[in-house]
Structure 1
Amino acid sequence: MGACMNGNSDVVRDSTIPVTVLTGFLGSGKTTMLAKLLRSPRFAHTAVIINEFGEVGLDHELLEQSREELVLLANGCVCCTVRGDLVATLEKLHEQHVLLGIDRVVVETTGLADPAPILHTLMADPRVTAKFRLEHLVTSVDAYNGLRTLDAHPVALKQAAVADRIVLTKVDLVDAFTLKNIKERLKSINKIAPIHVAQQGEIDPDLLFLNESSGREHVKAASWLGDQYWFHHEDRHHRVHTHHHAGEHDSGIRSYSIVRDEPVSWQRFATWLELISSMRGDDLLRVKGIVNVLEHPDQPIVVHGVQHVFHPYRTLEKWPGKDRRTRLVFITRNIDREDIETTLQVFESKK
């Protein structure tokens, strides 16, 4: 793998370095978008891990062919070529992050890559989690070919389903009706992720890499727990609120939320998460949420999982807003909301 270092200096609550994964199907425009982002002076301290130098399309502009492990280029971009896996690349970058001033990492995947293995590495490998934290997964989607691609290629569907930010590219090639259709299709797959539009491959870096108040986890949580996405419900008197949003064309992919009004036992809740992850992890594409726990109701716990792997649970210093309900978002494949709900109720009923 190669790594190119060329963003903003962020103040984070801990010493781990935030990582954004940039994915998207072949021809979706992520390469062009990345190349233009790297020209921004605001990316002066971002390390970008790529599969090959040439694959990013930067070799003729920014990168000189070199077999050296570390190359300092004229524009201030630092690139290192590591003939190994992602862990080795990240470890090498971390060894030199102070010297190089690295404050963020972007990992660009190949167009045919299932993002799950790389997410597992970033979320579960102790050599990585001690030094880095997964911040975002950004997926680029070609507005012109996107509908056909989502129909024909399951990996493209999964790339969209697990994203927390989606970028539509090549919008100048489609009319308003087609653009509306692709947006609706993406929302049927993934209602968590906001959809941004890149104009001629360019997009405001803050839309993709904004660190949401520089590590203040309660503000970050609020950004994806906002009522505009999932959890606005007029009737707050019922103990359980559930909302089901199923994609109509998407091979069993479903997105839904589960809400609890009362605090839950964290021990039981964590055991339940482990159970569903071990039993149905392959089809548990993404779980994200905030939990009101009996043990410390003023300090909620954030959960974030992809298939069989969950982030280390984070306890927030305070609630991100006035709403103190437990709120969970699920994106699954062939798992109905009722199945998730039933298993949770079993654990809740145990004494």
Structure 2
Amino acid sequence: MSTLNKTPVTVITGFLGSGKTTLISHLIRNAGGLRLAVVVNEFGTLGVDGEILKSCAIPDCPAENIVELSNGCICCTVADDFVPTVEALLAMTPPPDHILIETSGLALPKPLLKAFDWPAIRSRITVDGVIALADAEAVAAGRFAPDLAAVEAQRAADDSIDHETPLSEVFEDQISCADVILLTKADLAGPEGVAKARAVIAAEAPRPLPVVEVTEGIVDARVILGLNAAAEDDLAARPSHHDGHDDHEHDDFDTVVVEMGEIADLPALAVKIEAMARDLDILRVKGYVAVAGKPMRALVQAVGARVRHQFDRPWKAGEPRVTQLVVIAEHDRIDAAAIKAALGV
């Protein structure tokens, strides 16, 4: 069946906090008349990104076209979650012109591409393209790419040290699977940081890839939609650290959900989150905060020790005014008691 007869799907991948939700929010509003549907695959039991996106809904992408699959990798639950979700979207009247899938920041994209070969859907959808977002500031700082010189020095001293970490494998697999790289937060990295980030990406990419600098998720939809890549048929050109493995592991990372009542001082909470992230090697924090005396709910997002917060909408009538934060870290570094103590719970 020609890809022209299939509904195109764009897979949007990228590390924690790279700006995937911000990008999709922009695409929802600027899709050039395309009727979109969105599938959000959240890591952890408390969904945040899906609700953010539903607040951006417009007639060409109504709230019912935005589906959140929480607490599970969609490529590991194909029959139970992924296929029924896709079938439900395709059965809508009118059906979507294009589907966006936002992967978890911890996801490996290649296993998801393999899920497109599932018999019930393989003749109906195609992977139009894989878009990988990379945080320019973080990549420039070497946060996700190994320092080969330092690794070799460490290897000389201790043969048991492996230069590959879970974080670097995720980053490299996302780059290797991509058709286009969006270099986000270029304004924070500056010209020198952007140049360093481009060099890292070029070194990790298995083939020359277009790299587009974006700020606040603003990019022309024509740059990343309509690529006609048919990526599900092009897996050999997208190498992965996990090629040849029947399964892929998700237990390298874990989450803790922290629940609190109303917070008296939002900036003070942000300071606590920053210190916690730095002291406890936290990768990501996101969630909603109830601030005493404020009619608006606050959205908090942190990538490492970089914390941002804003009021996103009024509390609904009868909605519990509670604070819920998702904290994500590597499995062997997460400590629920220490996290709660750092936040004053």
* TM-score (structure 1 length as normaliser): 0.52
What RMSD, in angstroms, separates the aligned Cα atoms of the two structures?
3.0
Q: Which residue does 1:150 correspond to in 2?
A: 145
Per-residue deviation, 1:115: 1.4
Q: Give 2:10's aligned amino acid.
A: T
Question: Matched residue of 2:212: which SS?
Answer: strand
Sort the Cα spacing of 1:41 and 1:179 in 2 relative to 1 into closer, same or farther, 3 A.
Answer: closer
> Shift in Å at residue 169 of structure 1?
0.3
The 1-side partners of 2:87 and 2:55 are apart by 27
One-letter code aligned to 1:87: V
Change (3 A) 1:57 1:167: farther
Q: Which has the higher contact order (CA 8 A, sep 6+)?
A: 2
Question: Residue 16 of structure 2: which of 10, 26, 48 is its match?
Answer: 26
C-alpha contact (below 8 Å) 2:136/2:194 kept by paired residues: yes
Match of 2:177 in 1: 162
- Contact kept, 8 Å, 1:37 with 1:205, in 2: the verdict is yes
Equivalenced residues, count: 204
Are residues 13 and 79 of structure 1, via their aligned partners in 2, closer, same or farther at CA, if it must alter by over 3 Å? same
For 1:166-315, list aligned pairs within 5 A. Answer: 166-190=181-205, 191-211=207-227, 304-305=234-235
Identity of aligned residues (%): 25
The corresponding residue for 2:108 is 114
Q: Residues 23 and 109 of structure 1 are in contact (CA less than 8 Å); yes or no, is this contact kept in structure 2?
A: yes
* Structure 1 position 105, deviation (Å): 1.0
Segments of 4+ moved more than 3 angstroms: 73-76, 80-84, 329-335
Once residues 144 and 57 of structure 1 are traced to their aligned partners in structure 2, the CA distance between those partners, rounded to angstroms, is 27
How has the CA–CA distance of structure 1 residues 178 and 107 changed in structure 2, closer, same or farther, with 3 Å as cutoff? same
- 1:55 is the counterpart of 2:49: yes
- Residue 88 of structure 1 pairs with residue 18 of structure 2: no
| Secondary structure of 2:25's aligned partner | helix
Any stretches of 5+ residues in structure 2 without a counterpart?
70-79, 147-164, 244-345
**1:187, distance to aligned residue in structure 2 (A):** 1.1
Question: How far 1:36 moved relative to its partner?
Answer: 1.4
Partner residue of 1:128? 121
Q: Contact 1:82/1:89 (CA < 8 Å) preserved in 2?
A: no
Return the offset for 1:15: 1.9
Unpaired stretches in structure 1, ≥5 consecutive residues: 1-11, 64-72, 213-219, 222-287, 289-301, 307-328, 336-351
